[in-house]
Structure 1
Amino acid sequence: MFPLFRPLVAFVAGILLSPCVDPLSVWLCAPLAALLGLARRWCLWLAVFLTGAGLAARQDAGPADLGPEPVRLIGRVLRPPERRGLGVYLDIQLQSVDARPVHGRVRLTEFLEDPELRDLFNALDLGTGDQVEIVVKLHRPAVYRNPGVFDYRRYLARQGVYWTGTIRNPRLITVLKRGGHHVDHFREWIYSRLDRGFQSDPNTRGLVMGMVLGLKHNLTGRVEESMRDGGLYHLVVASGFNLAVIAAAAARLTRLITGNLRIRLAVVTLSILVYVLVVGGQTPIIRAAVMALIFLAAKALDRGYAPLNAAALAALMLLAADPSLIEDSSFRMTFAAVGAVVGFGVPASRWFLGHIEARLRAFDDASRDGRLDPSIADWRVERRMWCELHGLPYWAVTIPWRLRQLAGQAFIVSVCVEMVFVYFMVESFHMLSPISPLLNIPAGLIAAVITTIGFLLIPAPGFIADSGAWIIDRFAGALLMLLDFGLSMPLATLRVPSAPPELWLLYALALSAAAAAVHRRKRSLCIGSFLAIVALQATIAVMDFSPPAPNATVLTFLDVGQGDSTLVEFPDGKRMLIDGGGAAAGRFLSLRDESTFSIGEDVVSSHLFSRRLRRVDALVLTHAHHDHLDGLLDVIENFKVGELWLGRNPMIPAYRSLIERAQERQIPIRWMHRGDAAGSISVLHPPRDWRTRTTAQNNDSLVLLLAAGGQTALLTGDLEIPIVAPDRVDVLKVPHHGSGGSRLRTQSGIRVISVGASNPFGHPHSTKLPALRTDELGAIRVVMDGAGPPKISSSLTRPCPACKLALLF
């Protein structure tokens, strides 16, 4: 029974369509619909729908901007400073800004490369509850506003964080009032106790801290990428898996001590609450805790328990508290996983492996044989006789078969979860991992062992802790070896673009048919639907769903922060990417963990994948500065590339790496100079006799003139010197992010500047304005069709979010 399914669907539908309804009318109609629901059931669902729409419409749009000048804020520290590399991150609940009451949170960072500044900051001894006064310049969280790219600003807004800033000096922080640091000290004690045995190996240390406490920022870049590629990332972040392991371990231990059900439930509940406290109330853990507490409450009240019903109730409670969670992919993945396990995996394992359970249940009870199927009864009799003949206990037969049963159940559940997660893996991470179901079985068991022993290490004395750390180290090493071996297999992980909605509709129908076949135990339907799922996954993996060629040449200036990347699409279907941004631009996000973040992977590739592209016909590097070059390294790995255009650049390590990767993938390289041409593109710089220096220079830039539809566009890289170029073009990519040092005199009616928000270089210079800026408009799209001036749009002109979310669901 799943009675809460329809209320949940109605509530979600109301949230999705809330932008399309009037809030006042919703709240006027909701009570009337609830009254009519006493007589007509459908009116009750309408009342739930209206409640969801009303709650979503009430969401605060957020406070207003605070202006460009530094402010004096007063607020309360929400958690101890979080150290990542040389950066310190601080979350503040605002109370006032320049003596004006302000609500919301601010996330601040301070870079402490200087040991003196580090000592000054440490002397402040900041902790939870401290009231502080800080002088800092606040701004909205930076975000890469390209279609298909993760919206970091929206992600922070769902946590109540509306501003970020960088503290220039610890002397700008004043502690007004101390809060109680007892919880901080408790957590620090736990972290230090767990961390003590793994200081020598950063890979094992990050793995253990992630699995036990959900502290993923301790992961090394290598381990984080490997876990993501292998489909095991859920094991090293705070998730329901961690909570389930802790709760199961507590239940097992209390069962050995007492048979009193209420005492056991109380201990398990306490262990869940303590774990939530230890990990700092991370959102995925809170979601899992809500579901677990519903289950425990049902047990304590001697009520029946339906896992899907508990999940639906938890989803309703969480969405009622914060309707914006519907946009959170983590929220959707959590409940998709629960649905896949409980509604699909467990029934499938009971069906496929039910004969093993029938054979092993009460194996030593011969009186049951007469009530069983003859084949099962014969099997039991034969095994018991074999044990008696060889003088062996019955568990010599039952234990191996139980292990087979557990392995089979784990495999079936893992396959079912992966089949459901294909949508999220493709649309969110643009990845298919065929090896994941196989890796998840041993990896899940190893993670359960590491999590359980890790928690037991915390109170353990030294000699026991050393032994436990040695065991954990061996298990962690085995997991990393297993992961490396699995990922080394051919086709272990595939990069794929987004798929069309109609294909996902077919996939949803195939999944529904498979689930129905499992519940009704229809073997032929199950086989057919499973083959359909495999065929659709193969289609997603290999089929080209690239959009049709545009009717005119289209330039898209991507928002890559303080860097450059331009996608050019031609009417003949060819596509060219000029520069790929770079990892250096990522630091202008100020507060993102940079361990594996890459502009090329997380911004440029994500946008191209969201466009359903598999191929880029030409990659162009204007010059070898990191904010233009680094992203191309990821693009080469993720896409089929027709050819690579290069000018004249010094052979710095990153440039050499780009050439080597191109050669490894057998990508033709074209060396371009002034006077060269390819189709509608002419090269204006550099000349053939251009001499490079030992380091990359802005004036090494490859400058391209594009002619299309009787219109022209000049794409300049970071060029600063004057060159021979048209006096006027229709579209100009302003050189060097709008720097005042550029002396190019070409005029244009449309000027585009690719620049990072709040960058420390003062770009763009006032003399280069007015212009269209990626830091203000996001991705800028220019259509050169020859019919009047080029047509302009940006990523800020987007469809109704309700329509997009309705399509998604």
Structure 2
Amino acid sequence: MSRSAPWRRFADAASAGPVAEARAPAAGNTAGGALPAGTSPARTHLHGPALLAAAVRARAGFRPATGSGAVTLDFRLAAAAGVCWATALGLPHAPRGTAFVLAALLFAAVLAMLLRMVFRPSGGWLRATGLVLCSAAALAALVLGIRQAERLSGPIRQAVDAGATVTVRLTAHADAARTGRAGKFPGAAARYQFRAEIHQATFGGRRFAAATPVLLIGDSSWAQARYGDELAAAGKLVRAGAGPVEALLIASTGFRRVGVPPVAAAVNALREAFIGSTGTLPPDARALLPGMVLGDRSQQPEDLAEAMRIAGLTHLMAVSGANCSYVLGAVYLLAALCRLPRPLRGLLGLVALGGFVILVRPEPSVLRAAAMGSIGVFALLAGRRRASLAFLCLSVIVLLLADPWLAASYGFLLSVLATLGLVLFGERCSRWLQRFLPKLLADALSLPLAAQVFCTPVVVMLQPGLPLYAVAANVLAAPVVPVVTISGMAAVMLAPVWPWMASIAVQLAGGLCLWVGLVARMVAVWPAASFPWPEGVPGAVLALLAGLLVLSLLFLGSRLPAAWHRSAAGGTAAWLQHRRRAHAGRLLPHRGAAIPAGIRHGSARHRTALLLGLLGLAAAASGIAVAVLARGGETPKWVLAVCDVGQGDGLVLNAGEGSAVVVDTGPEPAPMDRCLRRLGVDRIELLVLTHMHLDHYGGLAGALDHRKVGTVLVGSSRAELPDPVVETLADAGATAQRGSAGMAGSYGSLRWEVLWPGAGRPPPEENDASLVLRVDTASGPGAALTMLLTGDLESEAAAALLARLGPALPAVDVLKISHHGARNGGSRLIQALRPKAAVISAGRGNDYGHPAPEILAALEREQVPVFRTDLLGTILLSADGGRLEIAALR
């Protein structure tokens, strides 16, 4: 056989499409123009790229679905999407210019493979696959390199590197939203933030054009900034590192609105009119309706938000692919009722989707949702359900090319996983459930179940704790969500022209929102509604095993009854036929007579499926048991625990026998409570709230839940403490006293002393009023450990503390870096103390860029190893024989 024979077979297979297969005569049939024996069909002549594309389709694709009703999914773009994702995920962290170098190398490889295919057309399948994957990676690298170059081209790079104060003109890419972390004590100014793009800046007396995405952070004067506004302001640039924005812009002035595009002005008016029309609704409906229709959570109270989170309904408060699907479906259905052609229906649906995206803001999350929600429409236009997976992969590729930084977004990952779950298992789960449930209920259960199984491993990494009743809550809430979406959108569009009808639509949607709120509040108080779950990668693996267990049970439950039924029916029929033939004399029965195939107690295929299913169940159960037992083991020894509480501080010092000294409690109750439970703390001898910012006192209720508390010390620049602090302490029977330098005490092996602030009037800035504690421990010979806990102390106050200590400057083993590693914490304490180790408590993917590169660089210069909760989770420190030991509590 010649070397070109494999390629010719490759081309022959590529040139034979579904139409040719349908028209080909059956094997052995020589009538109707069948080809004589020994001849071959005429080969379709394809040249160049067409031949290559056809060959790749034939070799890498799947056969068309048969008439049996089975749907074969198309995986041909999955590998290309994965390569694009991996490229976009890794390259932003590489040195600048790496993307262009990689793109050049990959394009050279693509050219070499094309030339080899032309001159040596053997090994087609592997080469064609490599060609596609290299082309996808090269394109992703090239686009990322171009985008990186655009973002910091010109003098803006020097301004960002220098952390300079600049005057800018920028375009808002989102509405200003109040942050949940800054300024959380009475009388403090609220902080607002939004994404924007600087298109003109003035730095060093020079004005220049730019295209730099930033996260703007400003005071309450920025509350009225809206999407699409062109604004002029001044502020300080702070580098944000690799991510969707290049820098933070800390506004030092208010803004001046330079202009508003007409479309943005019209959309803003519609949104504000709709939100204003919800004022007559009950509180829960008024809080939920803007979020479910427009993704606006500004009116949602904290208790309802927490109930929605526990019930697994938070996704209803953001614009998702489901909302886009409802809009597309409604328009498509109306067009179908008008008997419009299928292409026109799809076009109208896409036009409606574009209007919906503009109305709810074309932010990255909304564009992502629109792309995912449109997959079904494209599959419908293609006339084949098997195209849905291909369109999902194509959407991933297009979105990553449009915004490569989506690759590191958990929201993007969850959207893709949810859609993938629906594509792969939505219909299958429905079929499996129909063995036990009516079709309507099976369909309702299958969608949230398929999405939940795929998304849960990622969700538990972001927020440990499994919403145990999420599927049930979604089934209860799901029937009203489409009506809320469509009614709400109708109200938005009718308000300018038919206010009376718009108010009816608002009342209808609001009434249904009450049901969603009722479901959330009801499910949130069910027993074990937020089931404790391991953190990090082990928790994700355990969640994946649990999901596979659920799917395996559904599959076996749907298959086994059918197999038994077929076996019994087939065996009985075959036995009766066997007996009839025996009595008729056509088959003489005797001891060695062959038993008909149908009597062989079912088929080997069913027994194999049963065996594999049982093995899968055993593996999943073993994995769950191992993980649970491992989780229930002893906690490693520890002196200091830096709890993973997100973007905040929560530190625990071991006082022995279930008691501890707790310094700050993080922003939310649940993480702090979970950390103390895992550490076995049931009594707090000393509770220290270093200062009155929510990321340090917000978890107070969780720390005090079912625990006794002794002394409470607080620091603040204000005369009055926040009401939540006072009320929570009163409920626990505790009172707070102001801490100041000179206070000291001991509990077990712990000795503590307050070093800052001095007695008298505290510093005017809340961060600088943070209590600074020195803690010493001596749990055994050679195990002395000295720690300095600094709250959110900023650079000037740190310098004053060092000046006050003077010769009494302590030797420190462990330094808690102040203010989560922010730049304003400075590096003076690091340089003066040179500790053996440093710890930083910061939230994963926080919006502030903590810890700052400057702080990490200072630690590196002083050769101080640093341990971060955003990377390690909860950190445990201990000392043994003069050696500092670090462990991560996963």
Query: Under a length normalisation based on structure 2, what TM-score does the superposition of the two structures give?
Result: 0.63
Counterparts of 2:540 and 2:802, CA distance in 1: 51
Task: Name 1:587's counterpart in structure 2.
Answer: none
Deviations 1:480-538 (A, max 9, x none): 12221111111112243315549717935972994798499644466875787688678
Could you tell me whether the CA contact under 8 Å between 1:214 and 1:279 is conserved in 2? yes
Task: Name 2:459's counterpart in structure 1.
Answer: 425
Q: Find the partner of 1:44 among 128, 142, 148.
A: 128
Does 2:162 align with 1:75?
Answer: no
Counterparts of 2:485 and 2:219, CA distance in 1: 33
Task: Name 1:165's counterpart in structure 2.
Answer: 250
What letter corresponds to residue 473 of structure 2 in structure 1? L
What letter corresponds to residue 459 of structure 1 in structure 2? M
Does 2:446 align with 1:412?
Answer: yes
Counterparts of 2:318 and 2:853, CA distance in 1: 34
What letter corresponds to residue 29 of structure 1 in structure 2? A
Task: Name 1:189's counterpart in structure 2.
Answer: 270
Does 2:514 align with 1:444?
Answer: no
How far is 1:240 from its partner?
Answer: 0.4
How far is 1:452 from its partner?
Answer: 1.1
What letter corresponds to residue 239 of structure 1 in structure 2? S
What letter corresponds to residue 268 of structure 1 in structure 2? G
How far is 1:93 from its partner?
Answer: 2.6
Residues 107-118 of structure 1 mapped to structure 2, 5 A cutoff? 107-112=215-220
Task: Name 1:707's counterpart in structure 2.
Answer: 778
How far is 1:241 from its partner?
Answer: 1.2
How far is 1:292 from its partner?
Answer: 4.8
User: For the structure 1 residues 189 and 630, does the alpha-carbon distance in structure 2 shift closer, same or farther, using more than 3 Å as the test?
Assistant: closer
Counterparts of 1:126 and 1:345, CA distance in 2: 38
Counterparts of 2:673 and 2:208, CA distance in 1: 43
SS in 2 for 1:138: strand
User: For the structure 1 residues 539 and 167, does the alpha-carbon distance in structure 2 shift closer, same or farther, using more than 3 Å as the test?
Assistant: farther
Q: Flag the structure with larger Rg.
A: 2
How far is 1:443 from its partner?
Answer: 0.9
User: For the structure 1 residues 83 and 284, does the alpha-carbon distance in structure 2 shift closer, same or farther, using more than 3 Å as the test?
Assistant: closer
Q: Find the partner of 2:520 among 479, 483, 489.
A: 483
Q: Gapped runs of 5+ residues in structure 1?
A: 142-152, 357-403, 583-597, 665-671, 721-732, 784-788, 800-809
Task: Name 2:636's counterpart in structure 1.
Answer: 549
Q: Find the partner of 1:580 among 640, 664, 683.
A: 664
Q: Find the partner of 1:254 among 310, 335, 349.
A: 335
What letter corresponds to residue 351 of structure 2 in structure 1? L
SS in 2 for 1:443: helix
Q: Gapped runs of 5+ residues in structure 2?
A: 1-72, 180-189, 561-609, 735-741, 841-850, 873-890
Counterparts of 1:790 and 1:129, CA distance in 2: 46
Task: Name 1:380's counterpart in structure 2.
Answer: none
Does 2:202 align with 1:139?
Answer: no
Counterparts of 2:700 and 2:770, CA distance in 1: 24
Query: Under a length normalisation based on structure 1, what TM-score does the superposition of the two structures give?
Result: 0.68
Could you tell me whether the CA contact under 8 Å between 2:372 and 2:416 is conserved in 1? no
What letter corresponds to residue 124 of structure 2 in structure 1? R
SS in 1 for 2:248: strand
Q: Find the partner of 1:29 among 104, 109, 120.
A: 109
Could you tell me whether the CA contact under 8 Å between 2:744 and 2:754 is conserved in 1? yes
User: For the structure 1 residues 327 and 734, does the alpha-carbon distance in structure 2 shift closer, same or farther, using more than 3 Å as the test?
Assistant: closer
Task: Name 1:104's counterpart in structure 2.
Answer: 212
Q: Which stretch shows the higher mean deviation, 638-647 or 431-440?
A: 638-647
Q: Find the partner of 1:231 among 307, 312, 320.
A: 312
Q: Which stretch shows the higher mean deviation, 48-57 or 407-416?
A: 48-57
Task: Name 2:529's counterpart in structure 1.
Answer: 492
Could you tell me whether the CA contact under 8 Å between 1:33 and 1:43 is conserved in 2? yes
Residues 266-665 of structure 1 mapped to structure 2, 5 A cutoff? 266-293=347-374, 295-297=376-378, 299-300=380-381, 305-353=386-434, 404-460=438-494, 461-498=498-535, 500-501=537-538, 504=541, 507=544, 511=548, 514=551, 518=555, 522-523=559-560, 524=610, 544=631, 549=636, 565-566=650-651, 578-580=662-664, 598=667, 615=680, 621=686, 623-627=688-692, 631=696, 634=699, 637=702, 646-647=711-712, 654=724, 656-657=726-727, 659=729
Q: Find the partner of 1:128 among 228, 235, 238.
A: 228
Could you tell me whether the CA contact under 8 Å between 1:740 and 1:765 is conserved in 2? no
RMSD of the TM alignment (CA)? 5.2
How far is 1:16 from its partner?
Answer: 5.7
Counterparts of 1:416 and 1:467, CA distance in 2: 35
SS in 2 for 1:217: coil
User: For the structure 1 residues 628 and 497, does the alpha-carbon distance in structure 2 shift closer, same or farther, using more than 3 Å as the test?
Assistant: farther
Task: Name 2:804's counterpart in structure 1.
Answer: 743
User: For the structure 1 residues 9 and 511, does the alpha-carbon distance in structure 2 shift closer, same or farther, using more than 3 Å as the test?
Assistant: farther
What letter corresponds to residue 31 of structure 1 in structure 2? L
What letter corresponds to residue 45 of structure 1 in structure 2? T
Counterparts of 1:223 and 1:338, CA distance in 2: 27
Deviations 1:440-491 (A, max 9, x none): 0121112221111111112332332232222222212222122211111111
User: For the structure 1 residues 516 and 97, does the alpha-carbon distance in structure 2 shift closer, same or farther, using more than 3 Å as the test?
Assistant: farther
User: For the structure 1 residues 304 and 634, does the alpha-carbon distance in structure 2 shift closer, same or farther, using more than 3 Å as the test?
Assistant: closer
Counterparts of 1:127 and 1:493, CA distance in 2: 36
What letter corresponds to residue 233 of structure 2 in structure 1? I
Q: Find the partner of 2:818 among 755, 758, 770.
A: 755
How far is 1:230 from its partner?
Answer: 0.8
SS in 2 for 1:743: helix
Could you tell me whether the CA contact under 8 Å between 2:484 and 2:512 is conserved in 1? yes
How far is 1:277 from its partner?
Answer: 1.5
Could you tell me whether the CA contact under 8 Å between 2:193 and 2:216 is conserved in 1? yes
SS in 1 for 2:234: strand
User: For the structure 1 residues 451 and 757, does the alpha-carbon distance in structure 2 shift closer, same or farther, using more than 3 Å as the test?
Assistant: same
Task: Name 2:199's counterpart in structure 1.
Answer: 94
How far is 1:210 from its partner?
Answer: 1.0
What letter corresponds to residue 443 of structure 2 in structure 1? Q
SS in 2 for 1:231: coil
Counterparts of 1:635 and 1:25, CA distance in 2: 55
What letter corresponds to residue 751 of structure 2 in structure 1? S
Could you tell me whether the CA contact under 8 Å between 1:14 and 1:49 is conserved in 2? no
User: For the structure 1 residues 181 and 539, does the alpha-carbon distance in structure 2 shift closer, same or farther, using more than 3 Å as the test?
Assistant: farther
User: For the structure 1 residues 557 and 648, does the alpha-carbon distance in structure 2 shift closer, same or farther, using more than 3 Å as the test?
Assistant: closer
User: For the structure 1 residues 674 and 272, does the alpha-carbon distance in structure 2 shift closer, same or farther, using more than 3 Å as the test?
Assistant: closer
Counterparts of 2:285 and 2:625, CA distance in 1: 35
Deviations 1:378-419 (A, max 9, x none): xxxxxxxxxxxxxxxxxxxxxxxxxx4222221233223222
Deviations 1:175-227 (A, max 9, x none): 4xx45333322342244135414356453233111111122334332222221
What letter corresponds to residue 747 of structure 1 in structure 2? L
Could you tell me whether the CA contact under 8 Å between 2:643 and 2:650 is conserved in 1? yes
**Identical-pair percentage:** 15
What letter corresponds to residue 77 of structure 1 in structure 2? T
Could you tell me whether the CA contact under 8 Å between 1:258 and 1:264 is conserved in 2? no
What letter corresponds to residue 663 of structure 2 in structure 1? D
Does 2:79 align with 1:6?
Answer: yes
